[in-house]
């Protein structure tokens, strides 16, 4: 597992990150974390006239994810040094995020982005959104733009509904299309996350006619850990039997659910040892990892 340092600390390339203006050196040589998220529950509570679904969910970050590095370019180009298979660089969220910030702030400097990818594509762990959010956070400092967090969240929402929570930076009860947050206090926990060998397109799940879209509203103030399920899970299991198979195996250790629109599924453990004991029993044809739950994004102090 590749972690990001002790919970409550924030590190870039081994150096503690202070608040903007606090004197901590951040350079083009830094390595920037992009953590995974999981949805502790996910309900579809309605649908807007423009077809966007209204959601309620709780986001939690994990001490596991991708990392990014940035190099300044002599011209004003935005370049991705590590394109993903099957994803044209011009459509990659990291490139789009850099271009969006560049245009919004009137920046004339270019950048080359190097992405070390650990999070699966189409896995429901927010990998692409987390990568893009880290691009906004990093270049906001490296380009000396210094937009406020509220403006970064506004830009992030243009790229996807999952981006704002990574820019918000705290475990949160989210509503609307995923952009309205109420911070939540969560108990310490470890997670065993399984990664089925399928990519689940979010659009296919939300387009399914049998998707439940009328789950009663929960109160953010009254929500407690363990409450709620994932309304997308039944559709994903029907369309992608591998998701159902991994869930069935994981449930021998207790409650388990799918994150986001899938395909990844997870179970919660009070101690790291319990999660690793379960991981050791994983069948040879399944893959997974153990990660600690975080209440704060590793780059929170940059917002």
Residues 37, 63, 231, 295: which is the catalytic one? 37
Q: Is 287 a catalytic residue?
A: no
Q: Is 102 a catalytic residue?
A: no
Residues 63, 162, 231, 295: which is the catalytic one? 162
Q: Are 200 and 243 in contact (CB under 8 A)?
A: yes
Q: How far apart (Å, rounded) are the C-alpha atoms in residues 249 and 224? A: 26
Catalytic sites, residue numbers = 37, 162
């Amino acid at each position: 597992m590749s972690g990001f340092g002790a919970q409550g600390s924030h590190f870039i390339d081994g150096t503690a990150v202070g608040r903007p203006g606090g004197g901590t050196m951040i350079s083009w040589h830094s390595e920037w974390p992009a953590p995974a998220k999981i949805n502790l529950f996910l309900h579809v509570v309605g649908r807007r006239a423009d077809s966007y679904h209204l959601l309620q969910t709780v986001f939690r970050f994990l001490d596991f994810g991708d990392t990014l590095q940035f190099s300044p370019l002599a011209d004003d180009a935005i370049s991705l040094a590590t394109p993903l298979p099957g994803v044209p660089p011009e459509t990659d969220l990291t490139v789009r995020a850099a271009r969006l910030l560049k245009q919004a702030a009137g920046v004339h400097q270019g950048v080359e982005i190097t992405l070390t990818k650990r999070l699966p594509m189409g896995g429901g762990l927010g990998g692409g959104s987390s990568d893009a959010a880290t691009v906004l956070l990093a270049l906001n400092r490296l380009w000396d733009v210094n937009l406020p967090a509220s403006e970064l969240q506004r830009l992030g929402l243009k790229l996807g509904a999952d981006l704002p929570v990574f820019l918000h930076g705290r475990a949160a009860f989210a509503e609307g299309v995923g952009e309205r947050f109420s911070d939540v206090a969560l108990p310490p926990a470890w997670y065993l996350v399984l990664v089925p060998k399928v990519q689940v397109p979010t659009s296919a799940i939300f387009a399914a006619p049998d998707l439940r879209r009328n789950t009663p509203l929960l109160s953010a103030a009254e929500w407690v850990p363990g409450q709620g399920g994932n309304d997308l899970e039944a559709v994903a299991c029907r369309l992608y039997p591998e998701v159902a198979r991994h869930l069935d195996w994981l449930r021998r250790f207790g409650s388990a659910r799918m994150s986001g629109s899938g395909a990844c599924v997870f179970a919660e453990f009070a101690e790291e040892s319990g999660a690793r004991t379960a991981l050791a029993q994983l069948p040879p044809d399944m893959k997974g990892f153990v990660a600690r739950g975080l209440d704060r994004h590793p780059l929170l102090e940059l917002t």
